[in-house]
């Protein structure tokens, strides 16, 4: 069952409550609904975590945690999924979002001679910002929807499979 698999890899409630980056949430972390593993809370957590992963700003974990609190989604899953964007995956992911933004806004792709460096990006921030943020928003929404409905489908499929296994015994 997905619940057993998730419990195996989830951090404990105590370790999340002791995290210094999440202390601003206070006593709200003690809400038991934030730690339940059911289809609703896990699918909402996937949507929140996947969307927050595409927000190009520091503090993605705090954004995911605050959103999980608001929607009473599973907090550890929401926060953990933000780490999809890490120092290794961030450049290709955000470049993809930029290309999607260019396509969505109907802008031509940049000159192939532009150097990809921090200095070049900072010098062209005005030209890059619009397509980049638009792409991040669109890819974030699509990722959240795919994560939400994908987990709901997988959870339901798994439950039906187990029911059928029990019925045939």
Q: Which of 2-11, 43-52, 60-69, 98-107 has the lowest mean pLDDT?
A: 2-11
pLDDT tens digit string along 81-118? 999 999 999 999 999 999 999 999 998 877 655 666 67
pLDDT tens digit string along 33-45? 788 888 999 999 9
pLDDT tens digit string along 101-160? 999 999 887 765 566 667 776 777 777 889 999 999 999 999 999 999 999 999 999 999
Residues 43 and 155 sit within 8 Å (Cβ to Cβ): yes
C-alpha distances (whole Å) from 23 to each of 86, 103, 138 are: 22, 40, 31
Helices (runs of H) and strands (runs of E) counted in the chain: 8, 0
Residue-range domain boundaries for the chain: 2-167
Residues 73 and 44 sit within 8 Å (Cβ to Cβ): yes
Q: What is the pLDDT of residue 113?
A: 55
Q: What are phi and psi of 16, to 5 degrees?
A: -70, -40
């Amino acid at each position: 069952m997905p619940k057993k698999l998730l419990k195996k890899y989830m951090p404990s409630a105590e370790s999340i409550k002791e995290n210094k980056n999440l202390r601003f949430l206070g006593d709200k972390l003690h809400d038991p609904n934030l730690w339940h593993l059911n289809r609703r809370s896990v699918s909402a957590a996937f949507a929140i975590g996947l969307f927050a992963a595409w927000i190009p700003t520091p503090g993605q974990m705090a954004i995911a945690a605050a959103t999980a609190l608001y929607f009473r989604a599973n907090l550890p899953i929401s926060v953990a999924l933000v780490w999809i964007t890490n120092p290794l995956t961030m450049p290709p992911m955000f470049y993809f979002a930029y290309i999607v933004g260019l396509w969505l806004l109907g802008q031509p792709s940049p000159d192939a001679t532009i150097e990809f460096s921090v200095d070049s990006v900072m010098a062209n921030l005005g030209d890059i910002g619009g397509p980049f943020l638009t792409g991040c928003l669109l890819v974030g929404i699509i990722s959240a929807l795919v994560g939400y409905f994908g987990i709901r489908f997988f959870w339901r499929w798994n439950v039906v499979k187990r029911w059928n296994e029990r019925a045939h015994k």
